[in-house]
Amino acid sequence: MKAEPYLHTVRAKETDAFSLSLRAQAEAADIPIIAYDGLCFLQQIILMRGVNRILELGTAIGYSAIGMARVRHDLEIVTIERDAERLDSARQNIDAAGFSSRITVIEADARTLDPNTLKGPFDMIFIDASKSQGIHYFERYESCLAPGGIIVTDNVLFHGFHEMTIRSRNLRQLTQKIDRFNRYLLTRKDYHTMIYPVGDGMSVSIQLR
């Protein structure tokens, strides 16, 4: 049964003017940000799991961090971005949203940043930086996860790569790495993982205690 066409008609639409302006800002600068239903999914996980502290890899212009921070007034987020220009936009947007005291933006390369320098632990880690580095990010930052915490990764179905004929060598290598990451998650018996066809595909890995 294909539920997608029906779900499209009963799914909440993004109507908030500020969020729409951030989405337009990202689109104009050709910066990829999370799909709206992906953001709603994150918000629901935060509410379901009572998440208080989040580490995000890949801030871009702050859209997802702001969207997550909106769910609860006591939520704290640390978010990492390596692109200085995007960081400037993110800081401005976070300030305009009134969340500067709850969202800490760090300029760093998530591939090499020492996780011990972050003020963990975090109840949730949201991986949304370079898509080829999933395993590396997972293994590098899981030490910051609170016991029983949750790691969510975006774009694990990357534009429906599993049904595409991919001619570009770079794209093929990228999707092979995403596929490797998805299969890697299943080998991690210390996590319970599910992949959801939400947004661009999101994996949810809950650490088992």
Ligand X SMILES: C[S@@+](CC[C@H](N)C(=O)[O-])C[C@H]1O[C@@H](n2cnc3c(N)ncnc32)[C@H](O)[C@@H]1O
For ligand X, which residue of 95, 109, 148, 194 counts as binding (CB under 6 A)? 109
Residues 48-107 that bind ligand X (CB under 6 A): 58, 60, 63-64, 80-83, 86
Residue closer to ligand X, measured from CB, 6 or 109: 109
158 near 178, Cβ under 8 Å?
A: yes
| Residue 34 found at the interface with ligand X (CB under 6 A) | yes
Residue closer to ligand X, measured from CB, 23 or 188: 23
Number of residues that bind ligand X (CB under 6 A): 18
Positive/negative CA dihedral, 87, 93, 99, 100: positive
Residue closer to ligand X, measured from CB, 83 or 142: 83
CA-CA distance, 93 to 98, in Å (whole number)?
Answer: 9
72 Ramachandran zone, left/alpha/beta (phi>0; psi -120 to 50): beta
Instruction: Give residue number: closest CB to ligand X.
Output: 58
Residue closer to ligand X, measured from CB, 130 or 207: 130
| Shortest separation between residue 208's beta carbon and ligand X, angstroms | 26
Using DSSP, state whether 149 is helix, strand or coil: strand
| Shortest separation between residue 67's beta carbon and ligand X, angstroms | 7
For ligand X, which residue of 33, 77, 156, 174 counts as binding (CB under 6 A)? 33
| Residue 141 found at the interface with ligand X (CB under 6 A) | no
Residue closer to ligand X, measured from CB, 170 or 187: 170
| Residue 138 found at the interface with ligand X (CB under 6 A) | no
| Residue 111 found at the interface with ligand X (CB under 6 A) | yes
| Residue 177 found at the interface with ligand X (CB under 6 A) | no
CA-CA distance, 33 to 172, in Å (whole number)?
Answer: 22
CA-CA distance, 86 to 31, in Å (whole number)?
Answer: 9
Torsion angle of alpha carbons 132, 134, 136, 141, nearest 10°?
Answer: 140
**Nearest Cα to Cα of residue 54 among 99, 20, 18:** 99
CA-CA distance, 149 to 164, in Å (whole number)?
Answer: 34
For ligand X, which residue of 46, 78, 94, 110 counts as binding (CB under 6 A)? 110
Pair of tokens at residue 126: 């949201």
- The residues that touch ligand X, with contacts defined as CB under 6 A, are 32-34, 58, 60, 63-64, 80-83, 86, 109-111, 128-130
